[in-house]
Amino acid sequence: MVRTQVMLTEEQLTRLRGYAAEERTSVAEIVRRLVDAAWSDREGTRTEDRRRGAIAAIGIGRSGVSDLAEKHDDYLVEAYS
């Protein structure tokens, strides 16, 4: 663990101490949990952004040909001829 200092308002510290007392743990542990939760939320947002991007990309390369899956080799030969 690394020691660090954080400046808090009186209200923030009071609320942290109350929460720590309810959880029967230290203020430092509560701060660590809150930092972890913030990172999890942020990473979840990135995952959601990636998912939205992938869904938006569906169909971008549409060929307009209905039998491409079955005749892809024929179309490649035609394209390179």
Q: Express each pLDDT in 12-29 by its tens digit.
A: 999 999 999 999 999 999
Residue 27 lies in a domain: yes
Residue 65 lies in a domain: no
pTM listed for this prediction: 0.53
Name the residue range of residue 43's domain.
8-55
Residue 67 lies in a domain: no
Give the mean pLDDT of the chain.
86
Residue 70 lies in a domain: no
Residue 73 lies in a domain: no
Residue 47 lies in a domain: yes
Number of domain units in the chain:
1
Phi, psi of 28 (to 5 degrees): -60, -40
Reply yes or no on whether the pLDDT at 61 is more than 90.
Answer: no
Least confident stretch, 20-29, 39-48, 66-75: 39-48
Confidence grade of residue 44 (pLDDT, cut at 50, 70, 90)? confident
Residue 36 lies in a domain: yes
CA angle 59, 41, 28 (to 5 degrees): 165
Residue 20: predicted pLDDT: 94
